[in-house]
A and B are shown apart, each in its own frame.
Chain A
Amino acid sequence: MADAVLFEFLHTEMVAELWAQDPDPDPGPGGQKMSLSVLEGMGFRVGQAMAERLPRETLAFREELDVLKFLCKDLWVAVFQKQMDSLRTNHQGTYVLQDNSFPLLIRMSSGLQYLEEAPKFLAFTCGILRGALSTLGIKSLVTASVAALPACKFQVVIQRC
């Protein structure tokens, strides 16, 4: 089993590299959004593959909540070696997943320092969640928010159309 820290290092480098490549020196919202969506797209493809590989002998999910629980437990354990701390829902298609010590943020600080930099480090994970949900048949929109490092919340809104 590979050391978890390898993924953390790789992820950090990924974010740093994408940001360094930004040709637009003006750190305006345009350039940043491009990199965030690239990161999220990468996470999406990874999430698709993970959702195919992980629930191997697990029997078919019967409802949405089961899928979300699978994400919080099995997917999070596979990627971050810990479970999600809490899952809340309004039973109308919105779920809030809360992680109180997110492994990709825990090395940075605990408090309010680096709060503006935090979203970059969450984009890839949002993509993983969205990709996994899409393979399991749920179209969704995933956003992340940080109030104070290293706790963060992922909000999943199911798109029904």
Chain B
Amino acid sequence: MAVCVAVIAKENYPLYIRSVPMENELKFHYMVHTSLDVVDEKVSAMGKALVDQRELYLGLLYPTEDYKVYGYVTNSKVKFVMVVDSSNTALRDNEIRSMFRKLHNSYTDVMCNPFYNPGDRIQSRAFDSMVTSMMIQVC
């Protein structure tokens, strides 16, 4: 279960950012912002290394004492960043990958929506509800 989900555009501004509203969200925004550097590093490192396969899923970007941050980049350089609670029963890699796949599918649907202009903030309710289903349930 994610604690914070963010979609960052190619030009590194947020298209969608949502966190569990329990404590100051600024902290999560800051974590997402710092993780962008790590994403850029991984992407450029992969480009230089003569590796045949380039994955979209970037894996664990960096861990902090409470949280772990995972990243995923699409072919159009849109980045998805997900912050999960470390204390949670360790989520397996597969689960994180499937969450990112669902995010990617929903993002593609948003792109195909004729009322959506690429580059705007995402306001689709369908996307919202998909993200809600992935986030931790806090009453």
Contact = CB atoms under 8 A, between A and B. Distances in A.
B54 to A, nearest CB: 4
Contacts of B118: 48, 135
A53 B112 contact: yes
B76 A59 contact: no
B54 A59 contact: yes
Contacts of A49: 111-112
Main secondary structure of the interface of A (DSSP, over half): loop
A7 interface: no
B75 interface: yes
Contacts, number: 41
B5 to A, nearest CB: 18
A51 to B, nearest CB: 7
A59 B56 contact: yes
Interface of B: 10, 46-47, 53-56, 73-77, 104, 107-108, 111-112, 114, 118
A154 to B, nearest CB: 21
A136 B76 contact: yes
A61 B54 CA distance: 8
A136 B108 CA distance: 14
Contact of B76 (A45, A52, A58): A52
Contacts of B55: 59-60
- Measured as residues with beta carbon below 8 angstroms from the partner, the interface class of chain A is 10 to 19
Most chain A beta carbons < 10 A, residue from B46, B76, B108: B76
B10 to A, nearest CB: 7
Interface in A20-73: 45, 48-49, 51-53, 55-56, 58-62
Contacts of A48: 111, 118
Nearest to B105: A56
Given A48-B118, A52-B76, A61-B75, A137 B10 contact: yes
Contacts of B108: 52-53, 56
